[in-house]
Amino acid sequence: MKKINLISIGMGILLLISLLSFNTPETATIKYDYKQVTTLESVVGAGLGRSSVMATTDTGTVVLSQYELKNFFSAAGINMGNVQTNEQTIVTMIFDMQTKGWELFSITSTALNTDTKRQGIFITRYLFQRNSK
């Protein structure tokens, strides 16, 4: 009987040691850097509005970026050439960010209208992320 108890205890200890020896790898926490780019597209008649692209810098300040947007409206009404130019500019900006290691993480868009006439602004925020170095 003593021999069976010793064998059972020994088997239990071996089982416990084998279970504890399976070391689950620790999952590394991935840290990201974030950069926000905001496009402001003006919807003001007669070409009087201002459209631009702003971006956060590495220090967190917001500056006008190198990308230039055109106003949606000219004196004759909506300018489809400007809309097309803005689309290409935004796609180029996203492509340039990707070549610098940034991944497009989120897009938020809204339109603000100051009154019921043809005045307002489209705001689109592009949030990019990349692995911290």
In a domain, 27, yes or no: no
What is the per-residue pLDDT for 17?
Answer: 73
In a domain, 89, yes or no: yes
125, 34 Cβ separation under 8 angstroms: no
In a domain, 118, yes or no: yes
Q: Which residues contact 75 (CB under 8 A, 6 or more apart)?
A: 46, 47
What is the per-residue pLDDT for 24?
Answer: 64
In a domain, 99, yes or no: yes
Residue 19 sits at φ, ψ, to 5 deg, of -65, -40
Strand intervals (E) in the chain: 32-44, 52-56, 62-64, 73-74, 77-78, 103-113, 119-131
In a domain, 19, yes or no: no
Spell out the alpha helix ranges (H) of 22-101: 80-99
What is the per-residue pLDDT for 117?
Answer: 63
- Beta 73-74 vs 77-78: how paired, if at all? antiparallel
What is the per-residue pLDDT for 57?
Answer: 77
| pTM: predicted TM-score of the whole model, two decimal places | 0.70
Number of domains in the chain: 1
Spans of the chain below 70 pLDDT: 1-6, 14-16, 19-26, 45-48, 114-118
In a domain, 51, yes or no: yes
Show the domain range for 107.
32-131
In a domain, 36, yes or no: yes
Question: Which among 52, 61, 57, 60 has a CA at the least distance from the CA of 122?
Answer: 52
Chain segment 36-60, per-residue pLDDT in tens? 999 988 777 666 677 888 888 777 7
What is the per-residue pLDDT for 16?
Answer: 67
In a domain, 17, yes or no: no
Report the distance separating Cα 14 and Cα 30, nearest Å: 37
Beta-carbon count within 10 A of 75 CB: 9
